[in-house]
Amino acid sequence: MLCPPLGRAVPRATLAQRPTPFRYSARWATTPATTVEEDSIPVGKDQGHISKKQNETIAFFDNLFPLKLTRLLSQSWKNQTELAAQLESPRLGIANPVHLIKRATAGLPMTITEIIPRVKDGGAFVKFTYKGEVTPEEVEAKLSAALEEKSLKPWFNPFAKMDAGIVRGIPWLEDLNRFPTSRIRIEFLPREPGESAVELYQETLYSLFRQYGKIAEISSQPPDSKVVPRFAYVDFVFVRNAVMARNCLHGFVVGEALGGGKEGTRLRISYERKIKPHSIWNWITSHPRLVIPVVAALLAAVTVAVFDPIRKFFVKSYVKHRLSLASNSVYGWIKSHTGTLLSGYKRKDRLGLAALWNQRQGLVEEIQSNLADPTGTFLVVQGPRGSGREELVEQALKDRKYVLTVDCKAVTEANGETGAISKLAAAVGYRPVFSWANNISSMVDLAVQSTTGVKAGFSETFEAQVSKILRTAASALKEVSLTERPRGDSGTEEGYLGDHPGERVVVVIDNFLCKSEDNKSSSSVLQEKVAEWAAALVQNNAAHVIFVTSEPSFAKPLERVLPDRAPTHISLGDVPLDVAREFILSKLEEDSGRDEKKGKNKEKKEKQGEKRRPDLTELDTYIETIGGRLSDLEILATRLKTGQEPSQAVTEIINQSAAEIVKNFVLRSDPEGRFSTEQAWWLIKNIAERKTLSYDEALLHPALSAGPGPAGAALEALASAELISIVTRRGVPVEVGAGKPIYRSAFALLASDTALRRRMDRAVLASLAGIEKKKIEGFERELAVLGGLPREGKGAEGRVGYLLEKMMESQGKIVGFEGEMEKLKGKGKGKRSGGGKRWWEVWR
């Protein structure tokens, strides 16, 4: 029989075929299983099929349960028996699906024997019996007419009618996680194993499935496909049409009349998720070289738009101390009411520096006057370590409202670039910071670049991350400086800040030009970016900038970033002896005052074996030996507090300094190769004998020329390491001395040690002899070249004679150096100098 013309619905009666008399046993059926014939499929409790008797037929009623909630409702009951029991409950009233089914079948020649709910499919299978003179096709026609007439609608969907159809196949009551879709997959199987199946034409599929609803598309399997069994897709317009088709025709056998072949073809129907065309995604994945940079730019833009305002807020809060404990009102009340308890500790911290502030009051006022200057520039506080640079700046800024301190040393000494980013962000209050995310982005960049050949740009370099942090901080600092600006001010922001220099934030960059041996590259990048950031702050009148450094070479990097303004330089040195004496005495007064507070009298001290007060009659002499370096004065005061005599304390400090010098400069070369131990020893010995050296003399001496680099670079490196100090006059170096006053005594102690002096003098002489040997080798090479010239010419005779004289001169020096080295090889014990422990005893 030919299929009907396309576009016309086929009456269900014309498609009726006498089904093979199968008998099934439902998985949750309450009726016992019946006898199974030879040509039936397996039945029983675990096969998920419905069993029926000879005079029973199954119909599927649709639109009883909401399809959108099938996933939720299917988990509400453990099994089908429990669901059936719930549906029989009278509490549901008219919303009961069973009630709808009974209303639909009322007055029809059929008797319902069992209802099997199918929540997943939104309907139920209804098993019923009918009289023998009525065919199932007639029952289906009457049922369809009744549903059309009564127009039954469920409570959850008042716009869709309930539908029903006779099950002509073998319904499968599976409880898998397969939920209805508008597309069904139809596989063509043989009626019995071993037989052959026929792939149905699209016209045949249309005539079979069109009766269940509007079909959108029918897709057949490609002819060259090797996938078996053969299959086809049928796409319905609505999901419920696919549900009806699947439940009514699953297992249906298409006979020869409909194109199913002589042996018949069985239909196995399943839901298939429709794969939507991804044209945009396919285009994106096909053009990675264009898409990846665009995506990176969009991500960067989103990041800036979302996180930059948050980070700017945190920077402003950090500068204004909004998130600190000191700004809390409760903490302020407690602090004000417990001030008397803490006053002793404050006095302990401030009393020792009172004499220092009296002597350096002029420097404090100079810093404050520079901060009040409308024409902003850099303010550089430079001095050796231990000279009180930080304390001076802190004293000058104690009345300033907004101060931000960035410690370059803490950032450069952090562990790797990630640690440096975290430290820098914490120093300016920049948060949130995702320093760890850059490592992941770097791996993504590497993977993308290896596959597409184009760098994605998701990761940022260390330089870019530092620039981003400082740029956000600069914007936030400018807004903090404009906090007091009136709302009605019509002038520019730069003009207002220029007229009100006292309202600008003060940025203190501590330990500027501090370098780390482990992170040399990141240290240089950080110092460069910090200098550029400071220049931008000064040029825009956003903040005052104070550099605190111990490096004398600060001028070059600052002139490069701000060439049109000369920085204001405040140099710190050692304090005068009278101030040093007052400093020591004030420290000792703190100790005695504390003892009096605790009620310790002299008798109690003697009983407890406390140390007596040191004799200070010769204190001025020992302070002159120590010098005016604050760090050394602190050490001396601490030793005197423990009861040591000044002579013993000074001797131990000298020995300790000598041990440090030997460890860092005499027995170990510079890790960066900037100077050698021979150069350091020559300076130690000559400064010990003469106290100071002319800079030109040191620069031109052969001992300093024998190092790994130029003599000038070696002197700068040793000055940076604070072994020596270079005195300048109008910016020109003129004199070389000890790095700090205590080093003069330490140099003398080392130079007086005979064994150490012989050893190091031999090393210096060997380096000088090596220089002369290199000269001779150069002369010999030039003489070999001159020897190859024609003998007729007389122009080279003068040069040959000159070279020979230089060779004789160098050879004479080598002989002299070797003779001196032989004299120094004599055995002898080192001469003991001064009291206390020797330097090597302290070092060990």
**Per-residue pLDDT tens over the stretch 356-392:** 667 778 888 888 888 888 877 889 998 888 788 888 8
Do 405 and 511 lie in one domain? The reply is yes
Residue 449: predicted pLDDT = 59
> Is residue 475 within 8 Å of 428, Cβ to Cβ?
no
Residue 646, pLDDT > 50, answer: yes
Q: Reply yes or no on whether the pLDDT at 802 is more than 60.
A: yes
* Residue type (1 letter), 377: T
Residue 2 in this model has a pLDDT that exceeds 70:
no
The verdict on residue 723 lying in a domain is: yes
Q: What is the largest CA-CA distance in the chain?
A: 144
**What's the CA gap between 838 and 842, in Å, rounded?**
7
Domain shared by 425 and 544, yes or no: yes
What domain range is 114 assigned to? 19-175
283 in a structural domain: no
Residue 414 lies in a domain: yes
Residue 251 within any structural domain of the chain: yes
From residue 82, how far is each of 74, 78, 85, 573 by CA, in Å?
Answer: 12, 7, 5, 93
Nearest to 261, CA basis, from 301, 240, 230, 282: 230
Model's pTM, two decimal places? 0.60
Per-residue model confidence as pLDDT tens digits over 449-491? 566 565 555 567 788 888 989 999 999 999 999 988 888 777 8
Quick check: is 63 in a domain?
yes
pLDDT band per the 50, 70, 90 thresholds, residue 787: confident
Phi, psi for 676 (deg, rounded to 5): -110, 165
Amino acid at site 750 = L
Answer whether residue 25 is part of any domain. Answer: yes
CA dihedral 491, 493, 496, 497 (to 10 degrees): -170
Are 186 and 166 within one domain?
no
Question: Strand 123-130 vs strand 56-62: parallel, antiparallel, or unpaired?
Answer: antiparallel
pLDDT for 244 beyond 90: yes
Beta bridge partners of 549: 382
Q: Are 715 and 698 in contact (CB under 8 A)?
A: yes
pLDDT, residue 454, reads 57
Question: Is 387 in the same domain as 466?
Answer: yes
Runs of H (alpha helix) within 662-694: 677-690
Q: What is the CATH number of the domain that holds 267?
A: 3.30.70.330
Residue 539 reports pLDDT greater than 60: yes
Residues 165 and 191 in one domain: no
Is residue 639 domain-shared with residue 649, that is, in the same domain?
no
Helix (H) or strand (E) holding 115: strand 110-118
For residue 674, give the nearest of 635, 718, 640, 642 by alpha carbon: 718
Mean pLDDT on 161-176: 87
Residues 424 and 546 in one domain: yes
Same domain, 266 and 316: no
Is residue 1's pLDDT more than 80? no
* CA–CA dist 769, 775 (Å, integer): 10
Q: Are 58 and 123 in contact (CB under 8 A)?
A: no
In a domain, 763, yes or no: yes
Identity (one letter) of the amino acid at 616?
L
Listed residues 571, 591, 621: the one ending a domain: 571
For 519-523, 661-665, 838-842, which range has the lowest pLDDT when averaged over its residues? 838-842
Task: For residues 810 and 761, give the distance between their C-alpha atoms in angstroms, rounded to a whole number.
Answer: 19
**Residue 4: burial class (beta carbons within 10 Å; 0-12, 13-18, 19+):** middle
* Residues 155, 63 share a domain: yes
Task: Please tell me which residue, 316 or 12, carries the higher pLDDT value.
Answer: 316
Answer whether 623's CB lies under 8 Å from 655's CB.
no
Per the CB < 8 A criterion, the answer to whether 767 and 676 are in contact is: yes
Please say if the pLDDT value at position 428 is more than 60.
Answer: yes
Task: Say if residue 468 is in the same domain as residue 446.
Answer: yes
Region 296-309: mean pLDDT is 77
Q: Is residue 9 part of a domain?
A: no
Look at the chain and report how many structural domains it folds into.
5
How far apart (Å, rounded) are the C-alpha atoms in residues 125 and 166?
10
Same domain, 516 and 664: no
Do 351 and 473 share a domain, yes or no?
A: no
Instruction: Tell me which of 175, 206, 229 is where a domain ends.
Output: 175
* Distance of alpha carbon 423 from alpha carbon 418, whole angstroms: 9
Last residue of a domain, one of 589, 614, 643: 643
The residue among 181, 270, 275, 186 whose CA lies nearest residue 234 is 186
Phi-psi map region of 292: left, alpha, beta (phi>0 left; psi -120 to 50 alpha): alpha
Average pLDDT over residues 440-447: 62
